[in-house]
Amino acid sequence: MRFTFDANILLYALVKQDKDKRRVAHGLIRRARAADCVITLQTLGETFRVLTGKLRMPPAEATAAVADWRAAMPVVAADEDCLIDAMDAVAGHGLPFWDAMLWATAKHAGCGLLVTEDGQDGFALGGVTWVNPFASPRSPLLVQALRAPR
Protein backbone atom coordinates (compact mmCIF):
# COMPACT_ATOMS: atom_id res chain seq x y z
CA MET A 1 0.00 0.00 0.00
CA ARG A 2 1.38 3.39 -0.98
CA PHE A 3 1.70 5.96 1.79
CA THR A 4 3.09 9.37 2.62
CA PHE A 5 4.28 11.29 5.66
CA ASP A 6 3.12 14.55 7.17
CA ALA A 7 5.84 17.07 8.01
CA ASN A 8 5.66 16.24 11.72
CA ILE A 9 7.19 12.81 11.06
CA LEU A 10 10.15 14.30 9.17
CA LEU A 11 10.63 16.89 11.89
CA TYR A 12 10.66 14.30 14.67
CA ALA A 13 13.42 12.50 12.78
CA LEU A 14 15.54 15.66 12.88
CA VAL A 15 14.73 17.16 16.27
CA LYS A 16 16.33 15.80 19.42
CA GLN A 17 13.79 16.94 22.05
CA ASP A 18 11.63 13.79 22.03
CA LYS A 19 13.94 10.77 21.83
CA ASP A 20 11.14 8.19 21.67
CA LYS A 21 9.37 9.88 18.78
CA ARG A 22 12.71 10.48 17.06
CA ARG A 23 13.52 6.77 17.27
CA VAL A 24 10.11 5.83 15.84
CA ALA A 25 10.36 8.44 13.06
CA HIS A 26 13.86 7.26 12.09
CA GLY A 27 12.66 3.67 11.91
CA LEU A 28 9.65 4.59 9.80
CA ILE A 29 11.67 6.62 7.34
CA ARG A 30 14.38 3.98 7.06
CA ARG A 31 11.78 1.32 6.26
CA ALA A 32 9.80 3.66 3.99
CA ARG A 33 12.73 3.92 1.59
CA ALA A 34 12.22 0.26 0.65
CA ALA A 35 8.41 0.49 0.66
CA ASP A 36 5.95 2.29 -1.63
CA CYS A 37 6.30 5.70 -0.01
CA VAL A 38 6.07 9.11 -1.66
CA ILE A 39 6.62 12.52 -0.12
CA THR A 40 4.53 15.55 -0.99
CA LEU A 41 6.00 18.86 -2.03
CA GLN A 42 3.79 20.42 0.66
CA THR A 43 5.40 18.25 3.35
CA LEU A 44 8.87 19.25 2.21
CA GLY A 45 7.89 22.93 2.20
CA GLU A 46 6.33 22.73 5.67
CA THR A 47 9.41 20.94 6.97
CA PHE A 48 11.71 23.65 5.59
CA ARG A 49 9.50 26.39 7.04
CA VAL A 50 9.53 24.90 10.55
CA LEU A 51 13.24 24.13 10.43
CA THR A 52 14.20 27.67 9.44
CA GLY A 53 11.49 29.41 11.47
CA LYS A 54 10.52 27.85 14.78
CA LEU A 55 13.65 25.69 15.05
CA ARG A 56 16.01 28.42 13.75
CA MET A 57 18.08 26.05 11.63
CA PRO A 58 20.34 27.85 9.14
CA PRO A 59 18.70 27.81 5.68
CA ALA A 60 21.63 25.94 4.11
CA GLU A 61 21.32 23.16 6.68
CA ALA A 62 17.53 22.98 6.22
CA THR A 63 17.98 22.91 2.44
CA ALA A 64 20.36 19.96 2.81
CA ALA A 65 17.84 18.11 5.00
CA VAL A 66 15.08 18.65 2.44
CA ALA A 67 17.44 17.53 -0.34
CA ASP A 68 18.03 14.28 1.58
CA TRP A 69 14.26 13.64 1.75
CA ARG A 70 13.91 14.44 -1.95
CA ALA A 71 16.60 11.91 -2.79
CA ALA A 72 15.11 9.24 -0.53
CA MET A 73 11.53 9.16 -1.84
CA PRO A 74 9.65 10.20 -4.98
CA VAL A 75 8.13 13.68 -4.64
CA VAL A 76 4.50 14.31 -5.63
CA ALA A 77 2.86 17.71 -5.99
CA ALA A 78 -0.67 19.05 -5.76
CA ASP A 79 -2.55 20.11 -8.85
CA GLU A 80 -5.83 21.87 -9.53
CA ASP A 81 -7.87 18.71 -8.84
CA CYS A 82 -6.19 18.44 -5.44
CA LEU A 83 -7.21 22.01 -4.67
CA ILE A 84 -10.83 21.28 -5.55
CA ASP A 85 -10.87 18.09 -3.45
CA ALA A 86 -9.22 19.91 -0.54
CA MET A 87 -11.82 22.68 -0.59
CA ASP A 88 -14.59 20.06 -0.72
CA ALA A 89 -13.01 18.26 2.28
CA VAL A 90 -12.93 21.52 4.23
CA ALA A 91 -16.58 22.22 3.44
CA GLY A 92 -17.84 18.65 3.80
CA HIS A 93 -15.70 17.28 6.62
CA GLY A 94 -14.40 20.30 8.51
CA LEU A 95 -10.75 19.56 7.82
CA PRO A 96 -8.26 22.41 8.20
CA PHE A 97 -7.26 23.53 4.70
CA TRP A 98 -3.60 22.45 4.72
CA ASP A 99 -4.49 19.03 6.17
CA ALA A 100 -7.13 18.70 3.45
CA MET A 101 -4.59 19.69 0.79
CA LEU A 102 -2.14 17.07 2.06
CA TRP A 103 -4.92 14.46 2.06
CA ALA A 104 -6.00 15.39 -1.48
CA THR A 105 -2.43 15.21 -2.79
CA ALA A 106 -1.95 11.83 -1.11
CA LYS A 107 -5.23 10.58 -2.60
CA HIS A 108 -4.30 11.71 -6.11
CA ALA A 109 -0.89 10.05 -5.74
CA GLY A 110 -2.59 6.74 -4.95
CA CYS A 111 -1.76 6.67 -1.24
CA GLY A 112 -3.90 4.57 1.06
CA LEU A 113 -2.24 5.94 4.21
CA LEU A 114 -1.33 9.36 5.51
CA VAL A 115 1.16 8.88 8.35
CA THR A 116 0.74 11.77 10.76
CA GLU A 117 0.54 12.60 14.41
CA ASP A 118 -2.19 15.12 13.59
CA GLY A 119 -5.83 14.21 13.15
CA GLN A 120 -7.79 11.25 14.33
CA ASP A 121 -5.95 7.92 14.14
CA GLY A 122 -7.93 5.63 11.86
CA PHE A 123 -9.99 8.39 10.22
CA ALA A 124 -10.60 7.48 6.57
CA LEU A 125 -11.72 9.66 3.68
CA GLY A 126 -11.70 8.94 -0.03
CA GLY A 127 -9.61 5.80 0.34
CA VAL A 128 -6.94 7.44 2.52
CA THR A 129 -6.61 6.50 6.20
CA TRP A 130 -4.86 8.72 8.75
CA VAL A 131 -2.44 6.66 10.85
CA ASN A 132 -0.62 7.87 13.95
CA PRO A 133 2.70 6.00 14.03
CA PHE A 134 3.15 6.78 17.73
CA ALA A 135 -0.12 5.09 18.75
CA SER A 136 0.06 1.78 20.53
CA PRO A 137 -0.54 -0.74 19.21
CA ARG A 138 0.78 0.22 15.79
CA SER A 139 -1.82 0.23 13.03
CA PRO A 140 -1.89 -3.06 11.07
CA LEU A 141 -2.26 -0.95 7.91
CA LEU A 142 1.04 0.79 8.62
CA VAL A 143 2.76 -2.51 9.42
CA GLN A 144 1.51 -3.89 6.10
CA ALA A 145 2.60 -0.79 4.16
CA LEU A 146 6.10 -0.88 5.62
CA ARG A 147 6.51 -4.48 4.43
CA ALA A 148 5.47 -3.81 0.84
CA PRO A 149 8.37 -3.30 -1.56
CA ARG A 150 8.23 -0.56 -4.19
Say whether pLDDT at 126 is over 70: yes
Rounded average pLDDT over 19-27: 92
The Cβ of residue 140 has, within 10 Å, a number of other Cβ atoms equal to: 9
Q: What is the CA radius of gyration of the chain?
A: 15
Q: What is the pTM of this model?
A: 0.92
Looking at residue 41, what is its pLDDT?
98
- Contacting residues for 37 by C-beta, under 8 A, at least 6 apart: 2, 3, 4, 5, 73, 145
Helix (H, G, I), strand (E, B) or coil at 117: coil
Helices 97-108, 41-52: crossing angle, 10 deg rounding: 140
Is the pLDDT score of 78 beyond 80? yes
Domain ranges of the chain: 3-76+111-147
Residue 82: per-residue pLDDT: 98
What is the residue-wise DSSP string for 8-76? HHHHHHH--S-HHHHHHHHHHHHHHTTBTEEEEHHHHHHHHHHHHTTT---HHHHHHHHHHHHHHS-EE
State phi, psi for 106 to the nearest 5 degrees: -60, -45
User: Which residues does 135 contact at the CB level (< 8 Å), separation at least 6?
Assistant: 121
Q: What average pLDDT does the segment 21-46 reach?
A: 94
Taking 80 as the threshold, does the pLDDT of residue 66 lie above it?
Answer: yes
Q: Say if residue 144's pLDDT is above 80.
A: yes
pLDDT at 150 over 70: no
pLDDT of res. 147: 85
pLDDT 10s digits, 84-114? 999 999 999 999 999 999 999 999 999 999 9
